[in-house]
Amino acid sequence: MGTITFIEHDGTAHDVDLVEGESLMELATGNGVPGIDGDCGGEASCGTCHVIVDDAWIATTGTRSATEAAMVEMSPECAPNSRLSCQLKARPELDGLRVHLPEYQM
């Protein structure tokens, strides 16, 4: 077990238990974190689970794939550390991870 923290655009933080093997999108929607939609169910094809990984963590999570980039780079809020949280699988090394949510999901 461990914790992942989702920080809403207004600064509200939500700590969620890390469940190995689940995606961050599933952890967020499963725990009622507002601001993550996940409309396509985890196929990187809707762009509504956009998160911005904290600078301190980007080396551990890695940067976005080409598939993620095709979706997330269309958002005006896209940042260098933007990822689709459905493509981030929870694993023990991510205990303590902090991700920021954009103001809007597109």
Task: List residues near another protein by CB under 8 A.
Answer: 37, 39-41, 43-47, 70-71, 73-74, 76, 103-106
Nearest distance, CB of residue 52 and another protein, angstroms? 16
Query: Closer to another protein at the Cβ: 37 or 54?
Result: 37
17 beta partners: 3
Backbone angles phi, psi at 89, to 5 degrees: -85, 135
Nearest distance, CB of residue 21 and another protein, angstroms? 21
Query: Closer to another protein at the Cβ: 41 or 62?
Result: 41
Query: Closer to another protein at the Cβ: 56 or 70?
Result: 70
Greatest distance between any 2 Cα atoms in the chain = 35
DSSP notation for 14-70: EEEE--TTSBHHHHHHHTT-TT---TTSSSS-S-TTEEEE-GGGHHHH-PPPHHHHH
Nearest distance, CB of residue 104 and another protein, angstroms? 3
